[in-house]
Amino acid sequence: MKSQSKKRGGARPGAGKPKGHRAQSTLDKIAAREFVRARVTAQLGPLVDAHLANALGISYLVVREKKTGKFLRVTQAMAGAKLKKGEELIEVWEKDPSVHAFTYLLDRALDRPQEQEIPIKVKSGDSDARIARLMAARKRTAGK
């Protein structure tokens, strides 16, 4: 004889993880994020200065070695030592200002500007389906 079994489908009271439970991998990510946040915050001044320098354009010293003809990037102290050795040339090279660094700084300091809605220009012969697809694509990307 078969015994009748009770149905066990669906939600049951007390089943599952308790509310607010976090997996160990989530706790590890939170701890790692906090570690990085503390390290970055401790060095915030020099990091902002470096970003500002990059946005304005960076200058650096280079020396051309007599033997190899290669240009080496050097500090001021190293440049003095290279001069005493009789290296060929010391120059100051400049890196152009970085538009990306400037944009990043403005986005952080003043918030990212809202994107403007571009009006749709309908040409003769465009179908309603094409316009509908374009509008749907704009709605999807607006949330990103």
* Predicted pLDDT at 4: 56
pTM: 0.44
Q: Compute the distance between CA of residue 53 and CA of residue 84 in angstroms, rounded to an integer.
A: 30
- Mean pLDDT (whole number) for 106-118: 73
Handedness of CA 24, 28, 33, 38 (dihedral sign): positive
Specify whether the CB–CB gap between 79 and 63 falls below 8 A: yes
Total domains present in the chain = 1
Q: What DSSP designation does 126 have?
A: -
- Show the CA angle centred on residue 86, arms to residues 82 and 90, nearest 5°: 55
Q: Is residue 42 part of a domain?
A: yes
Q: Is residue 59 part of a domain?
A: yes
* Predicted pLDDT at 109: 77
Specify whether the CB–CB gap between 62 and 93 falls below 8 A: yes
- Mean pLDDT (whole number) for 82-88: 64
Domain that holds residue 59: 26-112
Q: Is residue 133 part of a domain?
A: no
* Predicted pLDDT at 30: 93
